[in-house]
C-alpha cells in the first residue's frame, strides 16, 4: 500500500479532566518507543481451526485480493507515533487525530472528525466510541489499528454515523458495531477475543440501522463458534438499506445472519452479492434468516468456487 504523506501533529495546550485528555487545537506528548504497541494482553488466536489444516486464504488473505495485515492499519512506524495515555476526547468539529498511539480509548462527540494513522491499545470497552447523542456524525477512521487489551474491549468501533476504511481490529469481542449511515470498507477483523468462552463475537454487528455498507473486507469471526462474521439482526430497531458486497466471510455459528427477532420484522432492502464464504468455518452453515427478511442474493460462492444458495 502506498504510504500516506505525513502531516505534523498539531500542538497546543491539553486539558486533562480525570483520566480524559481533551484534545483542542494543540497538545504534545513524547514520541512512542519503537515497540510501543506490540503487546496484546491476553490475546487468543481464534480465526483458525484448532486442529487440522488452516485455509490459506485465512493465513494470507492479501494473496487472494482481500484486506490483510499488509494493507490495513497504521502506515507509519511506531517510532513516528506520539503517545497519548487515557481517554482521548475529540470534541471539536472537523478535528483531526493522526500519527498517534492511544493507550486507552477514543471518544468522538463532534461532527466531521477524522482519525488516521492511529493505533489504539483499547484498555476499556471501546477502541473508538462514536456518541451520536452528543453530536458525532460523519466520522472518518482510516489506516488505523485497534488492539484490545486483556478482557476489556467490547468492540473496536461503535456505533453509527461513521466510515471505517483500511482499519484493522483484533482481540475485541466484536470488530465493528454499526448503525445508521455507517460504511465499513477495505478493513480486516481477526482474532476476536474468546477469553471467557461465552462471548457472542461478530466481526460486524448491527441491532438496528439504515444505510449500512459493508464492502471489500476480510471479516473473520471465531472459527466454528458463536456468532458470525456479519450479524444483521433487527432487535432494537429496523434494519434497512444494507449492502454486503465483495467480502471474505469466515467463522461463527453461521457466517451471516439476516433476521428480525422480538417482534421486529426481518431486515429489508438487503443486498448480499459477490462475497466469498470459507467452507467449514461455521458451526451450522453459511446463512441464517428469520422473520422473512427481504434479501437480494447473487454471486456468492465459497472460496473453493462453489455457489452458496440463498
Least confident of 31-40, 158-167, 235-244, 284-293: 31-40
By C-alpha distance, which of 182, 305, 192, 300 is closest to 232?
Answer: 182
Residues 58-76 pLDDT 10s:
999 999 999 999 999 999 9
Least confident of 11-20, 71-80, 286-295: 11-20
Percent of the chain with pLDDT over 90: 82
Residues 72-100 pLDDT 10s:
999 998 889 999 999 999 999 999 999 99
Residue 32, helix vs strand vs coil: coil
- Count the Cβ atoms, other than its own, within 10 Å of residue 168: 25
Residue 95, helix vs strand vs coil: coil
Residue found by looking up cell 456518541 in the block: 131
Report the alpha-carbon distance of residue 177 to residue 158 in Å, rounded: 5
Burial tier of 106 (Cβ tally within 10 Å: 0-12, 13-18, 19+): buried
Predicted confidence at residue 198, as pLDDT, reads 76
Confidence of residue 310 (pLDDT cuts 50, 70, 90): very high
Q: Is the model more confident about 35 or about 296?
A: 296
Confidence of residue 111 (pLDDT cuts 50, 70, 90): very high
Percent of the chain with pLDDT over 70: 86
The domains of the chain are located at: 41-302
Gyration radius of the chain over CA positions: 19
Sign, Cα dihedral of 84, 195, 161, 65: positive
By C-alpha distance, which of 199, 136, 195, 190 is closest to 167?
Answer: 190
Mean pLDDT within 175-199? 93
0.85 cut: is pTM over it? yes
Residue found by looking up cell 488492539 in the block: 147
Amino acid at each position: 500500500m502506498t504510504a500516506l504523506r505525513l502531516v505534523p501533529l498539531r500542538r497546543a495546550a491539553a486539558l486533562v479532566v480525570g483520566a480524559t485528555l481533551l484534545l483542542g487545537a494543540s497538545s504534545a506528548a513524547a514520541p512512542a518507543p519503537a515497540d510501543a504497541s506490540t503487546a496484546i494482553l491476553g490475546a487468543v488466536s481464534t480465526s483458525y481451526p484448532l486442529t487440522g489444516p488452516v485455509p490459506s486464504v485465512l493465513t494470507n488473505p492479501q494473496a487472494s485480493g482481500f484486506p490483510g495485515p499488509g494493507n490495513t492499519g497504521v502506515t507509519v512506524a511506531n517510532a513516528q507515533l506520539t503517545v497519548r495515555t487515557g481517554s482521548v476526547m475529540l470534541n471539536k468539529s472537523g478535528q483531526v487525530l493522526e500519527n498517534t498511539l492511544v493507550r486507552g480509548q477514543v471518544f468522538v462527540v463532534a461532527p466531521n472528525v477524522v482519525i488516521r494513522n492511529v493505533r489504539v491499545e483499547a484498555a476499556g470497552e471501546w477502541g473508538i466510541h462514536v456518541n451520536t447523542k452528543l453530536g458525532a456524525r460523519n466520522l472518518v477512521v482510516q489506516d488505523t489499528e485497534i488492539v484490545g487489551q486483556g478482557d476489556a474491549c467490547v468492540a473496536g468501533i461503535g456505533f453509527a454515523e461513521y466510515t471505517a476504511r483500511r482499519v484493522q481490529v483484533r482481540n475485541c469481542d466484536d470488530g465493528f458495531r454499526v448503525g445508521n449511515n455507517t460504511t465499513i470498507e477495505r478493513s480486516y477483523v481477526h482474532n476476536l477475543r474468546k477469553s471467557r468462552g461465552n462471548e457472542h463475537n461478530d466481526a460486524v454487528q448491527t441491532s438496528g440501522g439504515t444505510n449500512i455498507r459493508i464492502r471489500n473486507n476480510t471479516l473473520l469471526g471465531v472459527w466454528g463458534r458463536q456468532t458470525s462474521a456479519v450479524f444483521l439482526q433487527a432487535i432494537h430497531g429496523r434494519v434497512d438499506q444494507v449492502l454486503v458486497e465483495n467480502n471474505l466471510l469466515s467463522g461463527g455459528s453461521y457466517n451471516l445472519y439476516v433476521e428480525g427477532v422480538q417482534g421486529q420484522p426481518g431486515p429489508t432492502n438487503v443486498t448480499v452479492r459477490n462475497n466469498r464464504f470459507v467452507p467449514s468455518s461455521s458451526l451450522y452453515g453459511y446463512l441464517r434468516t428469520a422473520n422473512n427478511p427481504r434479501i437480494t442474493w447473487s454471486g456468492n460462492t465459497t472460496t473453493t468456487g462453489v455457489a452458496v444458495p440463498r
